[in-house]
Amino acid sequence: MKKENNENPITEKVVSKIERGELKMKSKAYFVAKSFLVIGSLTLFFLLLLYFGSLIIFVLRINDILLFHGIGFYAIRNILLSFPWYLVFLIFALILLISVIGRKFQFVYRKPFIVFLLIVFTIVIASSFLVEKSSLHYSFFRLAEQERLPVAGRMYRDLGNIDIDNAYFGVILEKRNSQWAMELDSGEEVELRITEKTRGRRLYSQIEEGEKVLVIGEMEEGVIDVVGFRTIERRFRHNNQRLNER
């Protein structure tokens, strides 16, 4: 009985090319070095992801941006115009790099690409919140304010002092019918012109003299035409007590 030839044609071609010297076998050290390089790259990119992801959360907190929630589209628009979007683009670029490099592993390759992207994104978001709770960015920001952070000092000073157009923090000095007196964080005293639309909001009657507030509106000659406002229960901007605790 004739013996069947069970060899794979592709295998035969590869073996034939090796015998003719057209292909060269890679050493075991090559594959080990390649694996270390891939794993090292993934680790580095993931650490950078955690750094930039937690940095975005730090920016939101230190600039009181979380206080703008529910204050209206006018405020949201100004936040979008002032926000450092390059951090977001860096994060998406790193997630894409991790996803592409991760496809070299079998347990990743078997999953749909979009599924792996979502998994990485979820892990990064959750881990970034944990990193932001640490003293990392607050310590860097404090050093930057003291001009003791030579490499990233300017970046931290800029990110920690984002100016959002037509947003003012201060204290209500006096309440009158249609105009209130307010002292800004800078020490300047201004008038708040309260419109009928603003006066109709419940928060209007709840604000008391001496309270810290966030006011949204255009200012001209020391008078702010109020579009939106809210009281501030907890301040993040230049919170020296919190920074000193870190």
The CATH homologous superfamily for domain 167-245 is Nucleic acid-binding proteins (2.40.50.140)
Residue 19 vs residue 63, higher pLDDT: 63
What does the block give as tokens for 134? 């640490």
Instruction: Quickly state the pLDDT bin for 56 (edges 50, 70, 90).
Output: very high
Rounded CA gap, 60 and 83, in Å?
Answer: 9
DSSP category for residue 26: P
pLDDT tens across 18-41, in order?
666 665 666 777 777 877 888 888
Give, to the nearest 10 degrees, the angle between helix 136-145 and helix 113-132: 60
With 70 as the cut, is the pLDDT of residue 199 above it?
no
Rounded to whole angstroms, the Cα distance separating 136 from 152 reads 13
- C-alpha–C-alpha distance, residues 71 and 89, integer Å: 26
- The pTM (predicted TM-score) of the whole model is 0.74
Average pLDDT over residues 98-108: 71
Tell me the domain boundaries of the chain.
28-159, 167-245
Assess whether pLDDT exceeds 80 at residue 238: no
Please give the average per-residue pLDDT across 31-58, as a whole number: 89
Closest CA to 43 of 101, 82, 107: 101
Compute the distance between CA of residue 57 and CA of residue 124 in angstroms, rounded to an integer.
Answer: 12
pLDDT at 246 over 50: no
How many angstroms separate the CA atoms of 214 and 216, rounded?
A: 7
Task: Give 239 or 206, the one with higher predicted confidence.
Answer: 206
pLDDT > 90? residue 7: no
